[in-house]
Amino acid sequence: MSDTPIALTLEEAQLSPATRRKLLIGAGALAATAGAYIAWRKTRHYDPPVNMQPPQGFWEQQWDTPTGDGKVQMQSYRGKTVLINFWATWCPPCVDELPLLNDFVAKNGTNGMQILGLAIDRPDAVQSFLKRTPLAYPVGLAGNTGRPLMDQFENTVGALPFSLLVTASGTVVRRKLGKVIPKDLAVWSQLK
């Protein structure tokens, strides 16, 4: 080894355009990955305990059923613990969680927590889907009225699936943006 220091001129120290491009692409990919990870962590764990009252007029809302033979009335859930699940047929995580919700209702019946599905979708798409995949709990066709309702519960991005747990006292105690998992149902079913 030589004790002579190596000195580079400014021109020698500069990177070639190809090397700079590779570094910029790498830095951009790293930043995008970090941003996606942070967003995923925030939505994955979005189940903070909350204590909020539903907006004015919440209990008076009603929606057509997919079969068209009646209405799903929010008033019929007053005094009961209800999980309100906003979903759509075009939303893969929504469709993935429906069997879990359906199994929960099949195993627990009307004891404890009720489930209400509010479809943010076209009526014909929901009707077709439910013919292939029937659900054991009521579904209302919220359509375009569902998005403003989600906004009132602080889901201002309109992302699906979105679930709310309203206790028998009428207080919203949980909100979840993202797919419901078995642990959620186990914890939520204990909240009255």
pLDDT digits (tens, 9 = 90+) for 146-188: 899 999 998 888 899 999 999 999 999 999 999 999 999 988 8
**Residue 141, domain member (yes or no):** yes
Residues 38-67 as b/e (b if ≥16 CB within 10 A, e otherwise) read eeeeeeeeebeeeeeebeeebeebebbbbe
Structurally, the chain folds into a number of domains equal to 1
pLDDT given for residue 142 in this prediction: 95
DSSP 3-state assignment of 104? helix
Q: Which domain holds residue 75?
A: 49-188
| Integer Cα distance of 76 and 70 in angstroms | 13
Residue 144 has pLDDT above 80, yes or no: yes
Residue whose C-alpha is closest to residue 127's, from 65, 62, 63, 61? 65
How confident is the model over 101-112, as pLDDT tens digits?
Answer: 999 988 887 677
How confident is the model over 76-110, as pLDDT tens digits?
Answer: 999 999 999 999 999 999 999 999 999 998 888 76
Q: How confident is the model at residue 45 (pLDDT cuts 50, 70, 90)?
A: very low
- For 121, the token pair is 């979708």
pLDDT given for residue 8 in this prediction: 54
**Residue 54, domain member (yes or no):** yes
CATH code, domain with 103? 3.40.30.10
Alpha helices in the chain (DSSP H): 10-13, 17-44, 92-108, 123-132, 146-152, 182-188
**Residue 149, domain member (yes or no):** yes
- For 135, the token pair is 């659900």
| Integer Cα distance of 143 and 70 in angstroms | 16
